[in-house]
Amino acid sequence: MLRWGAELYFALNLHNELPTGIDRVIYYSDALTAAAIVDGCRLATTGRFAGLTATDIVVADARNQLYLVEFGAIAGVDMMLDATEFSALDSVRVEIAISVLRVRGGDGVCLGWRRHRRPL
């Protein structure tokens, strides 16, 4: 469910016809489901991260892959940044930081974060 929500959250809006971000998640579900997705994405940034280690993340990067749990965690960090909750970023695990850094473009924008990597 978090991956689905994260994909909607980050989906390109080529024709400006649909809402963006969490509003798009609400559009395709409802406010209660969207709130649960937001909570789950934020929790994924500070939780155990499905038992993955920094080494696992780096190996996946070398293989040009993403673990499914990374989608929600990356969305959680983006949500914190959008809400300017910089103090909450102190609790982000190093594995999440590695994930965010490896999918961000040089200009600080998530570029094709889902299209160019195969899920594990």
Mapping DSSP onto H, E and C, the string for 3-67 reads HHHHHHHHCCCCCCCCCCHHHHHHHHCCHHHHHHHHHHHHHHHHCCHHHCCHHHHHHHHHCCEEC
Report the domain count for the chain: 1
Q: Tens-of-pLDDT digits for all 120 residues of the chain?
A: 788 888 888 887 666 777 888 888 899 999 999 999 999 988 888 776 667 888 888 888 888 888 888 888 888 888 888 888 888 888 888 888 888 777 765 444 454 444 434 444
Residue 91 lies in domain = 2-119
Check: CB of residue 68 under 8 Å from CB of residue 1. no
Read off the pTM.
0.74
User: What pLDDT was estimated at residue 37?
Assistant: 92
User: What pLDDT was estimated at residue 34?
Assistant: 92
The residues, any chain, with a CB within 8 Å of residue 49's CB and separated by 6 or more, are 69, 73, 93, 95, 96
